[in-house]
């Protein structure tokens, strides 16, 4: 169902839960391209893009959002048809845009005037809202990197591995969201996408600057998490080597003692087996061998 808010001479149409009839209406009423309709129907996330036609533009923008458990990032889409006198936003997933539209409806019902004079300005407000919602998500990933850094030298290896793996996956998702949109807003800022109003370059430049800032933050987080991952691998390798070294030393000490007890455990005639002090002599010899080996290992700084 298409809902409409009038912004002076402009219109903002929003389709929250699109059905086939809504797509048929868009095609018959506004003559939008069939490929754009297919993109709107698709259940799979499309690449962020902007398609230019004679009288309108079609945009697909992405923003990150955490899942219900607040662990993994997911990609949400904002699909926008942009004409000179109206904008149509589509999709139930873009709750940010839906919230803005509801606020615009409430403002219209109260009879308040809108300060938006062009669809370019309205589009800017929509993109700005999406950008502002994305920024705290990026900052939270930075907090996850800091938390992984603090936990790096703790003994809970499984917890650290899980933290680093989740953060690395979320950073990859942020890369796929932010990087393509930098190219889109660069086109806006350079004027390759002209729009319908003049003097919007500074506004598009502001969007580009903020996305560039987020991209720089993501790159820093990615370098940090990769460095933490390598450091963690080195720590785990060093701990494993330390464990193997201790076990090797213990085995080296026990080996000759085991050899002696193995010989005197056989049911054959052996030297000193009939002597009363045989046990004490053999036990003392074993203790002496163990002490000598420990002193030798310490002298060599192996333990």
Higher pLDDT, 157 or 140: 140
Say whether both 106 and 30 belong to one domain.
yes
What DSSP element (H or E) covers 280?
A: helix 278-299
| Same structural domain, 233 and 272 | no
Question: What value, to the nearest 5°, has the Cα angle with vertex 98 and ends 61 and 203?
Answer: 50
Q: Give dist(CA 135, CA 211) in Å, integer.
A: 9
Alpha carbons 219 and 88: distance in angstroms, whole number: 34
Residue 259 included in any domain = no
Report whether 191 contacts 201 (CB < 8 A): yes
Tell me if 252 is assigned to some domain. Answer: no
> What pTM was estimated for this model as a whole?
0.76
Q: What is the pLDDT of residues 249-294, one digit of tens each?
A: 888 888 888 888 887 777 767 676 667 677 777 778 888 888 888 8
Range of the domain at 281: 267-299
Region 227-235 average pLDDT:
84
User: β-pairing, 86-90 with 10-15?
Assistant: parallel
Strand bridging mode 49-52 / 10-15: unpaired
pLDDT of 58 strictly over 90: yes
pLDDT tens readout for residues 22-52: 888 888 888 899 999 998 888 888 888 999 9
CA pair distance 219, 225, nearest whole angstrom? 10
CATH number at residue 186: 3.30.460.20
Q: How many domains does the chain have?
A: 2
Question: What separation in angstroms does the CA of 289 have from each of 7, 204, 259, 270?
Answer: 94, 80, 12, 20
Domain-located, residue 180: yes
Residue 51 confidence (pLDDT): 92
186 lies in some domain? yes
Residues 277 and 150 in one domain: no
**93, pLDDT greater than 60:** no
């Amino acid at each position: 169902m298409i809902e409409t808010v009038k912004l002076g001479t402009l219109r903002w149409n929003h389709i929250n839960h699109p059905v086939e009839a809504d797509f048929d209406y868009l095609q018959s009423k506004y003559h939008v391209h069939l490929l754009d309709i297919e993109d709107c129907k698709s259940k799979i996330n499309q690449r962020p893009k902007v398609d230019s036609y004679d009288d309108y533009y079609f945009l697909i923008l992405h923003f990150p959002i955490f899942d219900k458990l607040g662990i993994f990032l997911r990609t949400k889409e904002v699909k926008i048809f942009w004409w000179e006198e109206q904008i149509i936003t589509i999709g139930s997933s873009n709750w940010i845009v839906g919230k803005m539209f509801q606020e615009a409806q409430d403002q219209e019902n109260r009879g308040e005037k809108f300060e938006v004079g062009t669809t370019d300005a309205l589009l800017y407000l929509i993109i700005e809202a999406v950008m502002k919602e994305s920024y705290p998500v990026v900052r939270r990933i930075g907090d996850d990197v800091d938390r992984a850094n603090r936990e790096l030298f703790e003994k809970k290896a499984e917890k650290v591995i899980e933290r680093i793996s989740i953060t690395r996956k979320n950073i990859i998702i942020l890369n796929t969201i932010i990087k393509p949109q930098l190219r889109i807003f660069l086109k806006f800022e350079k004027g390759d996408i002209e729009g319908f109003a003049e003097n919007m370059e500074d506004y598009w430049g502001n969007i580009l600057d903020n996305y560039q800032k987020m991209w720089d933050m993501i790159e820093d987080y990615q370098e940090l998490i990769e460095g933490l991952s390598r450091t963690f691998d080195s720590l785990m390798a060093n701990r494993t080597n330390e464990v193997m070294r201790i076990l090797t030393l213990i085995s080296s000490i026990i080996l000759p003692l085991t050899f002696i007890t193995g010989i005197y455990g056989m049911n054959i005639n052996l030297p000193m087996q009939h002597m009363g002090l045989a046990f004490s002599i053999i036990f003392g010899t074993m203790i002496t061998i163990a002490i000598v080996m420990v002193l030798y290992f310490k002298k060599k700084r192996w333990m």
